Amino acid sequence: MQMPSPNPAILARKQALAARLLKVLPPDAVIQDEMETRAYECDALTAYKCPPLLAVLPRTTQEVSDILRICHEEGVPVVPRGAGTSLAGGALPTADCVILGVARMNEVLETDYENRIIRVQTGRTNLSVSGAVEEEDFFYAPDPSSQLACAIAGNIAMNSGGAHCLKYGVTTNNLMGVTMVMMDGTVVEIGGAHLDAGGLDLLGVICGSEGQLGVVTEATLRILRKPEGARPVLIGYDSNEVAGACVSDIIKAGVLPVAIEFMDRPCIEACEAFAKAGYPMCEALLIIEVEGSDEEIAHQLGVITEIARSHSPVELREAGDADEAGRIWLGRKSAFGAMGQINDYMCLDGTIPVSSLPFVLRRIGEMSKEFGLDVANVFHAGDGNMHPLILFDANKPGDLETCEAFGAEILKLCVEAGGCLTGEHGVGIEKRDLMLHQYSAEDLEAQLKVKDVFDPKWLLNPAKVFPLSVTEGRRSMALAAE
């Protein structure tokens, strides 16, 4: 993965820059020791590493503003970092950048049940936002699988989703306002506890901009009352086509389950070996969860199982109680762990139209043979977000490269099928060079024009999202202006 070569002029100014930052930050907030900056050399895409020039760990919006103003004046690139759980390399540093980590900004600023909002500093973890409102039976809906560790800042940067977004939406649908610091240090407030921030939907374009438009330090989030209950049903089929048709029929019947998870045979086998959840050995497994009171759950499951039966399942198992529900989810929730035990793996997250599911799975199977690497599929079937897991051996020379090439072909296939490169992980560096498969140069130019407005000097996370060749002119112009 190519990254821009570090600017020697910046590397030479390390001491001076650290000294300037120490004038506005306490000593423990500036990390300059080479051993310690290593902690920030990568995110969850661990195949790529590069220690930053410096890392800074501010505690307040004012400190973030001071840091950005100084870096702006010095012409130093800044890579914002939440909890460092990005699977796409969104927080990968360059050697000449300052990592701005918001992990110390984790306070709850306001909880307001009457208006159903919570305001937090963005270093707070996703799960602890729900934790802060749990005593009143409320929750924050987007639930990425890294929710124990990932920060709201990163959720906003990547517009994170989760298993329950068919009903509750993704981050952008639950974000009502932000305090954001622009690269020149200006602090802006957008939206708040009222609906639909006025004027152009800047909130909408900031969410998912991968830390390239500003650093969000505080967020107003929508919280919801927990449903009375939830229960899953497990349905096994002997073909992907039939499972796909079943999902489509359920949606057409007017039922909107809170989650529809899909696993293919390789995934079922791995999960079963790992978690022993008692899954049937079949080609395709659906886990469908509905919410409500007991009666409401029973009614919805009645509609779902009737449709499922009409497609002749090899297995249909309703959860009678919490214990059975837990067992149904056990295998699915351990899918990634199961894969990790077998091998190194790369997790993709292209999205496809649900109707293309059988075709895409068949092609992935064929490509798996061509590339000589196994692949297992977990899939949010309700919204078409696939998670093919390609298994490889990091210690075997060439395997990572083969895996990446295979991954790129799968993502191109997703685009050809009418979908997109990434449903919830973001582009980062991982999918940067595939962007021209989804968008024309003109389509990308429209996106670059947005960054020009927010960050004219192209200093915020500049080497991400877009192919380096596409952004080169802008990055080098900003450099020349120094």
Partner 1 sequence: MKMMTPQSEAELAEMIAGASGPLCIQGGGTRGLDVEGGVLSTRGLSGVELYEPGALTLVIKAGTPVAEVEALLAAENQRLAFEPMDCRGLLGTAGEPTIGGVIAVNVSGPRRIQTGAARDHLLGVRFVDGAGQAVKNGGRVMKNVTGYDLVKLMCGAHGTLGVLTEVSLKVLPQAEAMATVAVAGVGLSQAVAAMSAALGSPYDVTGAAYDPDSKTAFVRVEGFGASVNYRSGKLAAELADLGDTSITADGERLWQGIRDVSAFHGKDGDVWRISVKPSDAVILAPRLEAEALQFDWGGGLIWARVAEGTDLRARINVPGHATLVRARADTRSRLGVFQPQPGPLAAISEGLRRQFDPKGILNPGLMG
Residues of this chain, 164-183, that bind partner 1 according to CB under 8 A: 165-166, 169-170, 172-173, 182
Which helix (H) or strand (E) element contains residue 315?
A: strand 315-318
Out of 355, 467, 468, 475, the residue judged to bind partner 1 by CB under 8 A: 355
Q: List CB contacts of 295: < 8 A, sequence separation 6 or more.
A: none
Which is nearer to partner 1, 194 or 396 (by Cβ)? 194
Q: Is 209 in the site for partner 1 (CB under 8 A)?
A: yes
Cα within 13 Å of Cα(402), Cβ side: 20
Q: Is 199 in the site for partner 1 (CB under 8 A)?
A: yes
Which is nearer to partner 1, 38 or 226 (by Cβ)? 226
Task: Report the nearest approach of partner 1 to the CB of residue 17 (Å).
Answer: 26
Q: Is 27 in the site for partner 1 (CB under 8 A)?
A: no
d(CA 219, CA 322): 34
SS3 of 387-452 = EEEEEECCCCCCHHHHHHHHHHHHHHHHHHCCCECCCCCCCCCCCHHHHHHHCCHHHHHHHHHHHH
Out of 435, 459, 463, 470, the residue judged to bind partner 1 by CB under 8 A: 435
d(CA 381, CA 166): 9
Dihedral class, residue 278 (left if φ above 0, else alpha if ψ from -120 to 50, else beta): left
Out of 26, 278, 326, 418, the residue judged to bind partner 1 by CB under 8 A: 418
Its sign, for the CA torsion 12, 18, 24, 29, is positive
Its sign, for the CA torsion 35, 65, 156, 116, is positive
Which is nearer to partner 1, 72 or 425 (by Cβ)? 425
Restricting to residues 212-241, which ones interact with partner 1 according to CB under 8 A?
A: 225-228
* Long-range CB contacts (within 8 A, 24+) of 296-302: 296/228, 297/229, 297/230, 297/231, 300/255, 300/257, 301/231, 301/233
Calculate Rg over the CA atoms of the chain: 23
C-alpha closest to that of 432 among 456, 404, 460? 404
Task: Report the nearest approach of partner 1 to the CB of residue 379 (Å).
Answer: 11
With CB under 8 A as the contact rule, which of the stretches 41-49, 56-64, 122-130, 248-256 interacts with partner 1?
Answer: 248-256
Binding mask 317-346 for partner 1 (x = CB under 8 A): ------------------------------
The size of the interface with partner 1 (CB under 8 A), counted in residues, is: 98
Q: Is 443 in the site for partner 1 (CB under 8 A)?
A: yes
Which is nearer to partner 1, 6 or 229 (by Cβ)? 229
Task: Report the nearest approach of partner 1 to the CB of residue 205 (Å).
Answer: 5
C-alpha closest to that of 364 among 418, 423, 406? 406
Out of 74, 107, 134, 201, the residue judged to bind partner 1 by CB under 8 A: 201
Q: Is 383 in the site for partner 1 (CB under 8 A)?
A: yes
Task: Report the nearest approach of partner 1 to the CB of residue 81 (Å).
Answer: 18
With CB under 8 A as the contact rule, which of the stretches 143-151, 277-285, 321-329, 420-428 interacts with partner 1?
Answer: 420-428
Task: Report the nearest approach of partner 1 to the CB of residue 176 (Å).
Answer: 10
Restricting to residues 387-406, which ones interact with partner 1 according to CB under 8 A?
A: none
Name the residue type at position 414.
Answer: C
Q: Is 110 in the site for partner 1 (CB under 8 A)?
A: no
d(CA 43, CA 286): 31
Which is nearer to partner 1, 159 or 377 (by Cβ)? 159
Q: Is 379 in the site for partner 1 (CB under 8 A)?
A: no
Q: Is 453 in the site for partner 1 (CB under 8 A)?
A: yes
With CB under 8 A as the contact rule, which of the stretches 17-25, 195-203, 305-313, 336-344 interacts with partner 1?
Answer: 195-203
Task: Report the nearest approach of partner 1 to the CB of residue 453 (Å).
Answer: 4
Out of 424, 430, 463, 479, the residue judged to bind partner 1 by CB under 8 A: 424
Which is nearer to partner 1, 173 or 343 (by Cβ)? 173
C-alpha closest to that of 464 among 454, 451, 477, 453? 451
With CB under 8 A as the contact rule, which of the stretches 108-116, 272-280, 387-395, 473-481 interacts with partner 1?
Answer: 108-116
Binding mask 137-156 for partner 1 (x = CB under 8 A): xx------------------
Dihedral class, residue 409 (left if φ above 0, else alpha if ψ from -120 to 50, else beta): alpha
d(CA 468, CA 355): 34
Task: Report the nearest approach of partner 1 to the CB of residue 231 (Å).
Answer: 14
Task: Report the nearest approach of partner 1 to the CB of residue 387 (Å).
Answer: 11
Distances (CA, A) of 429 to 174, 349, 432, 463, 465: 26, 14, 5, 8, 6
The DSSP-derived string for 188-202 is EEEE-SSSS-SSS-H
d(CA 40, CA 51): 6
Which runs of consecutive H residues, i.e. helices, occur in 90-220? 126-133, 152-158, 165-168, 202-206
Out of 2, 46, 186, 310, the residue judged to bind partner 1 by CB under 8 A: 186
Task: Report the nearest approach of partner 1 to the CB of residue 460 (Å).
Answer: 13
Task: Report the nearest approach of partner 1 to the CB of residue 346 (Å).
Answer: 18
d(CA 8, CA 13): 9
Instruction: Tell me if residue 80 falls in helix, strand or coil.
Output: strand
Q: Is 444 in the site for partner 1 (CB under 8 A)?
A: yes
